[in-house]
Amino acid sequence: MVQELQIGGTRQKGSGVAHRHCLERCDSLVLAGGLGTRIRPVLGDVPKLLAPIGERTYLDFLLEWLARFGARRVVFALGHGARQILDHLGRRPPGLLAVEAVVEPSPLGTAGAVRFARGKLATDPVLVLNGDSFVDADLCAFHAAHCASGAPGTILCVEVANAGRYGRVLIDDQQRISGFREKDASFQGHAFVSAGVYFLSAALLDEIAAGNASSIERDVFERLPAESLAAFAGCFRFIDIGTPETLALAESVLGRGGFGDSMSQGLQT
């Protein structure tokens, strides 16, 4: 299905991202096929993309964010609650942002979703992002860094405190990813973690499509030789809306007068 959407919104004070067009010729793929079991006690059968954030849905914030960087075409890989999401998209007025969707017959994992949607993706590179997390990063700086790196993929990484709650990404002084570390509750201190947002080349997308991987991070990224992938790392506002606790914080991150206000460039590690 293809729909044309109007993304409204005026420039937010201090956002620094209005009238930027780095994603104009770059497809975006939103991975949103998960079952949402962690958040179901709060949302019931409502899919995470339609989680209420104030008087809007998370999907509305996501589309506006992409449009601020010039996005013109977004592909959604859907599963649980697909009909509700398609109905929500269909109620939006026509505009410049084209949206297409593929509906997985069963949960395929993040790499499986990329494989299932590959035929819909026409650009090189493609912006791929998890549909349940938000990071307040400058996507134009991210895109420029990816193009300059020459890497088949670049992962947007966020510095977090108490990194033992996450799997960690190890980044060398050339901004290449030297390795990954599994979640370790005993780890203390700051570290970089994946924000679930990537620029992937057409060649890497083809490789994923030709394989049988389930998880894009565990089965694809972690199996590539060290330093194959680049990192765009910084201190960005980051939130995963996949749990009741983090969803409760989402309005303070997304709804406090403009989620572009604290845009940051990538930091050297």
pLDDT confidence of residue 5: 35
Query: Residues 157-216: pLDDT tens digits?
Result: 999 887 767 789 999 999 999 999 988 777 778 899 999 999 999 999 999 999 999 999
Q: pLDDT grade, residue 255 (50/70/90)?
A: low
185 DSSP β-pair partners? none
**What separation in angstroms does the CA of 187 have from each of 199, 260, 269?**
29, 31, 19
Handedness of CA 8, 90, 80, 116 (dihedral sign): negative
Domain annotation covers residue 269: no
Query: Residues 43-68: pLDDT tens digits?
Result: 657 888 888 877 788 898 889 889 99
pLDDT confidence of residue 95: 74
Domain annotation covers residue 265: no
Domain annotation covers residue 268: no
Rounded to whole angstroms, how far apart are CA atoms 107 and 29?
Answer: 16
Rounded to whole angstroms, how far apart are CA atoms 10 and 252?
Answer: 20
Domain annotation covers residue 172: yes
Give the range of the structural domain holding residue 150, as residue numbers without chain letter: 2-254
Lookup result for tokens 């299932």: 116
- Percentage, residues of the chain above pLDDT 70: 78
Q: Quick check: 8 pLDDT over 50? A: no
Q: Quick check: 42 pLDDT over 50? A: yes
Q: Are the C-beta atoms of 46 and 247 separated by less than 8 Å? A: no
CATH of the domain at 87: 3.90.550.10
Query: Residues 73-130: pLDDT tens digits?
Result: 999 999 988 999 999 998 877 777 899 999 999 999 999 999 999 999 999 999 999 9
Mean pLDDT of the chain, nearest integer: 82
Domain annotation covers residue 75: yes
Domain annotation covers residue 266: no
pLDDT confidence of residue 35: 60
Rounded to whole angstroms, how far apart are CA atoms 60 and 216?
Answer: 25
How many separate domains does the chain show? 1
pTM of the model: 0.84
Q: Are the C-beta atoms of 104 and 195 separated by less than 8 Å? A: no
Cα–chain center distance at 4: 21
Indicate the residue type of 144.
A
